[in-house]
Amino acid sequence: MAMIWLVATTGEKVRRLRRGSAMTQEQLARSAGVSPSTIVAIERGDRLNPHPGTLGKLAKALGVSPADLLED
C-alpha cells in the first residue's frame, strides 16, 4: 500500500492559522506590520520563501513560532 504525503506550504499554514484566529488578511497584515499584498502573495503561493523577518512578524502575530510556518 502506497503512502500519501500531504505537504502544507507556508502559505497554506498562514491561511489556516489566520482563519483559525478569525482574522482577515488585512487584520493580520496590520498586526504583523506588513502590507496586505504580502499576506495575499504568501497565501497564494506567489512567495514561496518569504523573508525570515516577515516570517517572524507573521508568527508573532499568529501566536506561533516561525518554524511552525515553514513548509513541511
Report whether 47 contacts 13 (CB < 8 A). no
- pTM given for the model: 0.87
End-to-end CA distance of the chain: 22
Per-residue pLDDT of the chain (72 residues; tens, 9 = 90+): 565 666 789 999 999 999 999 999 999 999 999 999 999 999 999 998 899 999 999 999 999 999 999 977
Among 20, 70, 21, 22, smallest CA distance to 42 is for 70
Residue ranges and CATH numbers for the domains of the chain are 11-67 (1.10.260.40)
Three cell numbers written together for 67: 518554524
DSSP state of 48: S
